[in-house]
Structure 1
Amino acid sequence: MAGIRTLAQARAFVKRVGICGIFADVEGHSLWDATDLPDRQPGERGWGQKVSAVWTWKNLLPARHPDEIFYGKVKGGKAVLMSMARLREHYPQHHLPVRECSPVAQRIYHALKFDPMTTPELRRHLDMTHPPQRNQFERGLKELQITLNIARRNSEEDENDTWVLFREQYLEIAADER
């Protein structure tokens, strides 16, 4: 265990390991496992210190340090934090042109071409709020993250996940592949 107790320590951890899962192990590293804060105690309300910290850090690290840390999903759908150096290595091997993605993923992508949207806004915009379309929407959204076609916008002001095209937020990385 790395003994992480602060945002600064979490930042240093991600930069050192290159990639880590948020709550699950990815390539031998997990922010959850490396965090040394107490779990929720019996009778305690809310999430407890450890869950609250890890959940907050996964959003704050890429928002405060967008040139250093990326939040996304990898094959299998696991959420990860990744250093920019690692993202540069990861992108060419894992990016898939949107035209090769599923029809639902393509619809989601095209809806984001002009404006960022939160997950609920996007779901409503595409009229995919009820099963089975809702499940198809979730799979398409995950597919676009895994294939590095969309990314969560790096903003501390966003209360909900707000999606943008990957190439708009990470133009330098996407341009390197061409």
Structure 2
Amino acid sequence: MKPRRPVKIKTFEQAYEFVLQVKTCLIFGSKTSDLPCLWDAVDLPGRQPGQKGWGQKVEAVWAWKNELPAQFPDEIFYGKLPGGLAMLMCVDYLRRVHYPAQHRPVSTCSPLARRALELIRSEPHTTAELRKALSPSGAITKSKVDGALVELQVTLNITRSNAPKLKRDTWLPFTEQYPDIGGEA
């Protein structure tokens, strides 16, 4: 049997097909996961010596992680896996396999995560807005707030808004964006 040819993604359309084919992929690689990785599959040049910016590969992967779920919200989901690994997943796989296996009631989450979800339920918030609202005096560290947001993503209680024009991560209750998947958050 011949070894599989490595995927060589150069376009947004090819990235879309890749996610649908593999069902779940990491955005960037990880030594702790055997899942396929969008970063490894993209065949675009990195930053060249003397070039400003990130280079074509980083710019493409960074944009596609947001654009794929924004343009195909009924087909592609962006979220976090246990361990906080960023991933893209087919919505059908999310519905049938991932949500039943990974969703946890918010009551099982940390107090800080529960407070964050209360704010998000009242209205969508960006990460920066949540950091400020949860710790107006700065007593709670940025990393603790970010950890609470990861916890809510991993347990499928919140998700990033797929609204195409948003420039910053804006958080919604999972069931608001995916009302046909799961129950009450």
Q: TM-score range by the shorter chain?
A: over 0.9
Tell me the distance in 1 between the aligned counterparts of 2:136 and 2:24.
32
Tell me the distance in 2 between the aligned counterparts of 1:129 and 1:2.
48
1:18 maps to which of 14, 23, 28: 23
Tell me the distance in 1 between the aligned counterparts of 2:111 and 2:56.
41
Q: Secondary structure at the match of 2:47?
A: coil
Tell me the distance in 2 between the aligned counterparts of 1:152 and 1:161.
6
Q: Is the 8 A contact 2:132 2:138 kept in 1?
A: no
Tell me the distance in 1 between the aligned counterparts of 2:51 and 2:137.
34
1:7 maps to which of 9, 12, 19: 12
Give a deviation string over 1:30-68, Cα, whole Å, max 9, x none.
000000100111111100000000000000000000000
1:70 maps to which of 77, 82, 93: 77
Tell me the distance in 2 between the aligned counterparts of 1:19 and 1:128.
37
Q: 1:48 aligned to 2:55?
A: yes
Tell me the distance in 1 between the aligned counterparts of 2:127 and 2:143.
13
Q: Is the 8 A contact 2:134 2:140 kept in 1?
A: no
The residue type equivalent to 1:121 in the other structure is E
The residue type equivalent to 1:13 in the other structure is F
- Counterpart position of 1:81: 88
The residue type equivalent to 1:65 in the other structure is F
**1:128, distance to aligned residue in structure 2 (A):** 5.5
Q: Percent identity?
A: 50
Which 4+ residue blocks in structure 1 deviate beyond 4 angstroms? none
Q: Is the 8 A contact 1:20 1:27 kept in 2?
A: no
Structure 2 alignment gaps of length 5 or more: 1-5
- TM (normalized to structure 2)? 0.91
Structure 1 alignment gaps of length 5 or more: none
The residue type equivalent to 1:126 in the other structure is L
Q: Is the 8 A contact 1:101 1:143 kept in 2?
A: yes
Give a deviation string over 1:142-177, Cα, whole Å, max 9, x none.
1000000000000111110000000111111124x9
RMSD: 1.5
How many corresponding residue pairs? 176
The residue type equivalent to 1:66 in the other structure is P
Q: Is the 8 A contact 2:28 2:38 kept in 1?
A: yes
Moved more, 82-91 or 66-75: 82-91
- TM (normalized to structure 1)? 0.94
